[in-house]
Each structure stands twice: as structure tokens, then as C-alpha cells.
Amino acid sequence: MTQFETGELYEDIVDEESDDLRIDKWIADTFPDFSRNYIQKLIGDGQVCVDGTTASKNSVKVKAGQRITMRIPAGIIPDIVPWDHPLDILYEDDDVIVVNKPKGMVVHPAAGHMDDTLVNALLYHCKDSLSGINGMMRPGIVHRIDRDTTGSLIVCKNDHAHQIIAGQLKLHSIRREYRAIVCGVIAEDELTVSEYIGRDPRDRKRMAVTDLAHGKRAVTHIRVLDRFEHFTEVACTLETGRTHQIRVHMDHIHHPVLGDPLYGHDLGLKAPMKLEGQCLHAHIIGFEHPSTHEYMEFTAPVPEYYIRLLDILKS
């Protein structure tokens, strides 16, 4: 991250899977917290460049390998206040910290959640030891999980570690296995969903299965762990990491994640206990350490509500 008097500069390289996208769609996919109107304003104000040339309109196409630069006006960047809140730390050293995020916690500040996010708690715990590549609003954050999804998350404590981990994410070499309880009984023991995912044109809060021209390649490997009368527990391994990928893919095959408020086509099934959001947990994360190059793997214990739900279903 580079800080300027006129604001904050974001830079990123277009990957192969984002080749031949409109610049406004690329920004929307890369920065999902930005509204469509705000993206159009940035482009209209000349704040977006492609390989050093100002993007003249929203429909400018970007190609793999091009460098995208965006200047965010300083006036919209608020101070991020450290929050004295306990963290469930699975591992920590000078390069990375792996945390087990609880349900209901937003990963980084955004409208409506400025003081009680994981980033606020990390700033208190790590002080100034967080990477700055993703900007002032997302220090240390190299990937994220949804507010009501629990589990393991890698946070980078310096820019070198951030670049290495981000590179592994782009190469899809990081192991990410989730646990989920989904609606309906899945007949197959194992299956793979390979469907492109893009922004839902009817509702920007949602993602949707789409075609090559409007989405990115997304692959989810699903393994059945247990079957119940009306539900199934599964392990989902991500080959790619798209926004809401597991939730969209499970809904697409008519087995939505139980409790999902956004994709919850629940097939008329009623949860056997009160739920707060989707029953989805980032269970295992494995990666090559950015300095030692040793493969490391961590398991986030499933949360208490998930265990209670399983007990109810088994009984």
C-alpha cells in the first residue's frame, strides 16, 4: 500500500481468470464492498488506470497481466480503531497469524461495521505488525470468510508474507476444507461442482451460477460425511476461492446450506434449532509458510452450535 495526500492507492494485476472483463466488473469482483455507483464515480473521476492509462469509460476491457491502479479519495477513509477483543489464535509467528473466526464477526471494516470487526481486534493484538498491501481498511487481510461463516483464516503480518500467501491463493495451492450441514439427502458419496460464478445481475448482494462471459471458474469438491433424515453433513474442498462459492454451488445442486439467508432455498425443511446464518465452517487450512517454505496445516474446531445441531440430527 502507498499512501498519498490525495488518498490511498490500490494496485493489482489482472489474473488469467479475469481476462477480457469490463473494468467496472473487475473492480466489483475485486472489491465487493464498493457499490456500482461508487465504482462508476471512480472511473468517471479518472481515478482508475490500466497500465498507467486512465480508464475512459466503464466498458474498457482488461486483460490478464495488466496492472490496475485505483486512487481512493482520502476523505472516505475513516480511522480504524483497535478493539480489545479476544482472538481464538490457532498459530502465530512474525509472518502470519491463523485465527478461528467466530460466527457473527465481520472480517474487515465496511459501512455499518467500523468498530467490531476482526481487523479491529487484530490491530489491538498485533499493533503495527500487519501487512498494508490491501489498504488501510483491510490491513493483514489476504482472504476472508463471510460474517456468519466460522473458522480458519490466514492473516499476514508483513508485506512479504502477504505477497507469498496471495500468490498461493492465485495458484489455488492453499488447502481449504469446509464443514457444512446442507438441506436434503445427497445420494452420491463424492461429487464435484464446476460452475462459473459471477455477480447476480438482479441483486448485487448475491452471487450466481453464470456463464464464462459473466463469471469466473469455480470448482468445489464435495464429500458426504453423514446423512440424516432430511439433511446431510458434508466436507467441501475449494479448488478455487470465489465469493460465496460453497453457498452458491450447494444451492445450485438443490442442497443449500442450512440456515443460509441469502441462498436458503430450504426445500420446505425447518431447522431443528434456532440458527444465526448458514451452517458453514472453515475447518482446515493448509499453506506453505512464506519464510520457511514448510507446509503447515491447521484445524479450527467446529463451533458449539454446530456440535449441538449434529447431536439433534443424530438423535
Enumerate residues 6+ apart whose C-beta is below 8 A from 262.
Answer: 205, 206, 244, 247
How is residue 138 written as a grid cell? 483491510
270/265 Cα distance (integer angstroms):
11
Catalytic residue among 29, 146, 251, 260: 146
Enumerate residues 6+ apart whose C-beta is below 8 A from 271.
Answer: 258, 259, 309
146 is catalytic: yes
- In the chain, what is the greatest distance between 2 CA atoms, to the nearest angstrom? 63
Distances (CA, A) of 243 to 33, 127, 145, 224, 249: 12, 29, 9, 23, 11
Q: 489476504: which residue's cell?
A: 142
Distances (CA, A) of 296 to 171, 177, 272, 285, 292: 17, 14, 37, 8, 10
DSSP code per residue over 95-118:
SEEEEEEPTT--SS-BTTBSSSSH
- Catalytic positions, written as ranges: 146
